[in-house]
Amino acid sequence: MSNKYSMSEKNSQYRFDSMDLAVYIWKKKIPLLIITFIAGIISIIASLMITPRFKSSVVMFPAIQASISKSLLMNEYQWNFQDVGEEEQVEMVLQILKSDKIRDKIIGRYNLMEHYGISPEEAHPLYKLHFYYKGNFTFKRTEYNSIVITVMDADAQMAADMANEIASLVDTTIWEMKLSRAEKAYEYIQMEYDSVTRVVTDLNACIHSFNKKGIINYDRQIERLTEAYGKAILDRNDAAKRDIEKEIYILTEYSSEFIQCWERYIDELERLNDTRSQLIQIKAEMEHQVPGIFIVDKAFKADKKAYPKKSIIVVISTLSAFILALLGFLFFDNFLKRIREAA
């Protein structure tokens, strides 16, 4: 019975407290309305003073970083240069987007220090510049492995231009990275090609010297001479036998040197062809720039500001002022009540 009475008393107290709060608000309605109204006016003025900013975005997919020359020149190569990149390529492009190289190029080309109103003479100008840049430029990966470049700026056209420029710089940076490696590789392969060419030329001269001595194709010549020698024996042709023996002697005298020279010539010739193919592939990489990204949506000039949302600012500021004023009155009245009770 006591438990039921206790619960009933608590519920009654709760209802009394809720009603008491409503009554308290009603009693304080004049100062609360004044404070709320003033807060609303201030928030409206503040929202009007905030410089509006416009948003422009570029949506793109990174391309797979495959060898273009191999994709085009070698049928057995498994990669297609038109394939969309996967997680590894997405992370690489994000890293490029966040690099100092991209940031500094955009800052320089659009003179962002002056655009943001930062004086080089003030304290920590670069820190402020980079802080503003980080706040106005965002790069995010989507669930579909695409990348969204978002730029916020007070100038709508400038926001669109900078977003498109960054996408272009990503492509240029990927190309410059590839070109730098390709140039080094081309330089090395060219040296290798020149070296093999000299070796092939020397071996060709060696073979030509044996050709002058009558050695053209050792295996076929020795086979034919052997057949002719056997026929001369059967025919009992001593003169033919002596002539054939001389030719066989010449062949056997230079056989090991000729075979060694010929086999090495064949190996080096194959090596020369492989090196030439590598040169063609690397040259194709150097001379033909293929986009490293696929642009899905280009940035365009926004005709409506993205920030600030004045209505949201006014509502939140006004409501916050009302709640803080109410809590302040409650605290102050309760504090005075405690002082009186203590006295």
CA separation for the pair 154, 118 (Å, rounded): 15
pLDDT digits (tens, 9 = 90+) for 254-265: 666 777 878 888
Cβ-contact 69, 280 below 8 angstroms = yes
CA separation for the pair 239, 246 (Å, rounded): 11
pLDDT digits (tens, 9 = 90+) for 223-243: 665 666 566 666 666 666 666
CA separation for the pair 212, 81 (Å, rounded): 52
H helix count then E strand count, the chain = 11, 4
pLDDT digits (tens, 9 = 90+) for 25-72: 777 778 878 888 887 787 777 666 666 778 899 998 887 665 555 555
User: Among residues 44, 37, 36, which one has the least CA distance to residue 313?
Assistant: 44
Map tokens 């939140």 to a residue.
Answer: 316
pLDDT at residue 161 greater than cutoff 90? yes
CA separation for the pair 302, 159 (Å, rounded): 9
The domain locations on the chain are: 1-50+308-343, 186-287
Average the pLDDT over 138-143 and give the result. 90
pLDDT digits (tens, 9 = 90+) for 266-324: 888 899 998 888 888 888 777 766 677 888 888 888 777 755 566 676 678 788 877 88
Cα torsion 239, 241, 242, 243 to 10°: value is: 90
